[in-house]
Amino acid sequence: MSNEPLPAWAWQFTAGHLPKIRPLALDTPITEDWAWGGSTGAGVKVAVIDSGVDASHPRVGPISGGVVVEPDDSTPSGARVTETPHEDLFGHGTACAAIIRSLAPDCEIYSVRVLGAKLSGRGTVFAAGIDWAITNGMHVANLSLSTGRASYFGMFHRLADRAYFAGTTIVAAINNVPAPSYPAQFASVISVAARDVAEGNGLAYNPTPPVEFGAPGIELDVAWKDGKTIRATGNSFACPYVTGMVARVLGKHPGLTPFEIKTVLRAVASNAEGA
């Protein structure tokens, strides 16, 4: 054996340091039944990072907790996080939570309010919401929002990488217009756009990103604030559809990593050969 010093991180792959890993047991092809058959998303923590969630809406049901993230220039992050009950200031977050609940009825939904009554907010507040989701062990984070500001690219890229390595799967809507969309454009994130489909599982895989997955998001009947419903179209509403699928997959196969989840979703997409 050479006496030369090992390259950085090579020690992690030496005898005594490299742990055994759980194999992805595939005695059958990855099908919808293998992926989520019989799963309701029980035990899976889902953060809805949005305008808040109306927990009293009949399509949402009780939620497991929530925080309000607000600007605070006196803190290093530029944001203050308060764990407190809260309402939806716009309706957008309630719509997303209800779609997730419709697919994964027993998942644990946490509301992370980062947007105000005009559905806008600071990038630093948005980032702090993602940070909370990672730090608090959320299995999935639904981001039906994005930023296109180049100055935030590095901050959101670091957060996306941190989530990836922590085992928090980020599902993010791509912008509704052809413009930069962070963090949806990052490879570590499951990016979603809307498609006009109402049959089958609704999921499609795009082999030529920036957006990898398509899901129902055109002219949907969605929940809204104050117990109401509206007709709506947007990538925002396709995103929670995929989040609900991810919650069901994790409910049946706890511990799958974000890249394993992408593999499963690609395998069961409606346009996959043999699907």
Contact 251, 103 (CB under 8 A): no
Is the model's pLDDT at 61 over the cut of 80? yes
Asked if pLDDT for residue 34 goes beyond 70, the answer is yes
The pLDDT tens digits for 128-166 are 999 999 999 999 999 999 999 999 999 999 999 999 999
250 contacts 138 by C-beta, under 8 angstroms: no
Residue 275 predicted with pLDDT over 80 = no
Structure letter (DSSP) for residue 192: E
- Give the per-residue pLDDT at 16: 84
Domains of the chain by residue range: 38-268
Instruction: Identify the pLDDT of residue 274.
Output: 62
- From the list 244, 190, 240, the residue with the least C-alpha distance to 39 is 244
Contact 230, 92 (CB under 8 A): no
pTM, full prediction: 0.91
Greatest pairwise CA separation for the chain in angstroms: 70
Tell whether the model's pLDDT for residue 69 goes beyond 80. yes
CB atoms within 10 A of CB 40: 16
pLDDT, one tens digit per residue, over 72-114 is: 999 998 999 999 989 999 999 999 999 999 999 999 999 999 9
For residue 198, the model assigns a pLDDT of: 75
Asked whether residue 25 carries a pLDDT value surpassing 70, the answer given is no
Q: Looking at residue 1, what DSSP letter applies?
A: -
Domain spanning 38-268: CATH superfamily: Peptidase S8/S53 domain (3.40.50.200)
Structure tokens at 19: 């742990």
Give residue 8's pLDDT: 73
Q: What angle do CA 173, 115, 163 make, to 5 degrees?
A: 50
Closest CA to 141 of 45, 32, 1: 45
Q: What is the per-residue pLDDT for 43?
A: 98
pLDDT 10s digits, 2-21: 577 767 776 777 778 767 76
Q: What angle do CA 184, 22, 156 make, to 5 degrees?
A: 20
CA distance 181 to 68: 23
- Judged on CB neighbours under 10 Å (0-12, 13-18, 19+), 111 is buried
pLDDT value of position 239: 97
Please list the alpha-helical segments (H only) found in 186-234. none
Q: Mean pLDDT, to the nearest integer, of 244-269?
A: 96
